[in-house]
Amino acid sequence: MAEKSASGEAREQANEQHIEARRRAVSAFAQAETDMLARLWEEVGEGRPIAAVRGPEVGLVMVRGRVGGGGAPFNLGEASVTRASVRLGEGTVGHAMTLGRDLERARLAASFDALWQLDAAHRDMVESRVVLPIEAAIAEAETKAREETEATRVDFFTMARGEDE
């Protein structure tokens, strides 16, 4: 019994890791510039045919905030999004949703999701040659913005006042 539940736990853990890895990958695909996605697909897609299953199609997502920043949710306003589902030659289906109305970006992001799911070898390849470079590009842009903001930090300095010894 104990063994069985232990293996069940291990399976659950592996499943969670798988979900977390895919979440990270899909989030990277959605945030990459279209040019970058196109170039990377050129490099790793091996000229696979991409068949549309759904879309790409433009629609809306209602963006929510929280009352006071951390309270009950409220509807802040909508954002345009594009979603796509595609099937690779091998039969794997990938999905994507990206902010904005760039159809090609959503189609490519869905294609990478499908390629990531193909098998372990493709997953590792996509992780190292697509996900990591995208994350690095995002991190570089964010570092630049952060450092520019940092230069506007107010450094208060104290002035001595009165006759304190």
Partner 1 sequence: MYVAVKGGEAAIANAHRLLADRRRGDRTVPALTLEQIAGQLSLAVDRVMAEGSLYDPDLAAMAVRQARGDLIEAIFLIRAYRTTLPRFAASQPIETGRMRIERRISATYKDLPGGQLLGPTFDYTHRLIDPEMAKDGDVAAAERRETAGDSHAPRVTDILGDEALIEGDGDRAGEAEPADLTRSPLGFPTGRDLRLQALARGDEGFLLALGYSTQRGYGRTHPFVGEVRIGFVDVEVELPEFGFAVTIGRVRVTECQMISQFTGSKEEPPQFTRGYGLVFGQSERKAMAMSLVDRALRADEFDEERRSPAQDEEFVLAHSDNIQATGFVEHLKLPHYVDFQAELELLRRMRREGDRPAEEGDETE
Chain positions contacting partner 1, by CB under 8 A: 19, 22-23, 26-27, 30-31, 58-81, 83, 85, 95, 97-101, 142, 144-154, 156
How far apart CA 61 and CA 157 sit, in angstroms, is 46
Least distance from C-beta 47 to partner 1, angstroms?
26
Least distance from C-beta 25 to partner 1, angstroms?
9
Least distance from C-beta 63 to partner 1, angstroms?
5
Fill in the amino acid letter for 12: E
- Nearest CB to partner 1, comparing residues 43 and 80: 80
Could you tell me the two tokens for 52?
């549309």
- Nearest CB to partner 1, comparing residues 10 and 63: 63
**Closest to 62 in 3D by CA, of 75, 43, 72, 49:** 75
CA angle 16-142-73, nearest 5°? 60
